[in-house]
Structure 1
Amino acid sequence: MTPPSISIQGRRIASDTPPYIVAELSANHNGSLAPREIPSALLFSIFTPRCFSGP
């Protein structure tokens, strides 16, 4: 029996497939980014300083 799965841009994701790795990119990494694996997708975090200073 095939385990339950989903598909993202034609890539099947299930318990019997290699992991789907999402790496987050943002300004809050102190200039250091050392991925151990090649990511399958990137998440871009975008914010403005106003988000932290309140209304």
Structure 2
Amino acid sequence: MFIFPAFVTPSVAIISVFIPFVLVPVALLAFIVWHIRKLNRIDERLMDIQERLKDR
């Protein structure tokens, strides 16, 4: 039987194991959303530049 150290209770150990399974997908999703928004801003700027050049 494994004996937990005094500073790590079984509930803390279980939570510590499951935190990466929750945080990694959330961080990945946040990165994807940020990247898509950034690409959309770039696309809007390029379309604006194209419109300005057409008007000349």
Q: Report the TM-score, using the length of structure 1 for normalisation.
A: 0.22
Task: Tell which structure's C-alpha radius of gyration is larger.
Answer: 2
Higher relative contact order (CA 8 A, sep 6+): 1
Give the number of the structure whose residues are more often helix, by fraction.
2
Q: TM-score, normalised by structure 2?
A: 0.22
